[in-house]
Structure 1
């Protein structure tokens, strides 16, 4: 897949909130996920597809209600792309909040090898 095809497919799947499907279909086995900073819930860096999938499941388990989810169209370069993810969620601890972040992805050989989030 081209970077554009990966980007379009990721956006389509993520708009439904199915992180696991996107990760299984589009991520490399050695992919890396980078958060803005370490938190009690998540390390700054998560390495490997299995660990990234578990991270997504952990996030889902922390959500009480997903009120809405939106993802912008991707801005695509030859080996990377970026989108804005906007979620209105009620967390089990912490209440309702709007989570808006810039998501930047690097692609190699038709697979996502790195994701990095900026708030």
Structure 2
């Protein structure tokens, strides 16, 4: 699968809010997920290594939500081994109230699998 094909698959599934399928099917076993340094102030781990740990991080995020009011994913931009999307979410969290989140996600694809993701917000 080319990077553009992976980007298109990611976009299709993200628009359906189906991140579990994205991670199950398309993440490499040794995937690395990187959050910005300031995420540590919210108690988040900056670097998460391994598919099961990244999936657990996603599950913890979903569990922290009370209501997902809306979410969107921009069409991807791809070049070389990388693609990026803009992710927007309107969420009410159990302990923080309602917030609007916007982030850029950059993903690296090698041998048809996502080997890294990094978020900027």
TM-score normalised by L of structure 2: 0.94
RMSD: 1.0
The equivalent residue for 1:78 is: 80
Q: CA deviation at 1:42?
A: 2.2
Taking the TM superposition and a 5 Å limit, the aligned residue runs for 1:48-63 are 48-63=50-65
Which of 91, 97, 104 does residue 102 from structure 1 map onto? Answer: 104
Alignment of 1:1-119 (within 5 A): 1-37=1-37, 38-119=40-121
Distance in 2 of aligned mates of 1:15 and 1:59: 18
User: Residue 15 of structure 1: CA displacement?
Assistant: 1.6
Higher helix share: 2
Per the alignment, in what secondary structure is the counterpart of residue 63 of structure 2?
helix
Gaps of at least 5 residues in structure 2 are: none
1:93 match: secondary structure: coil
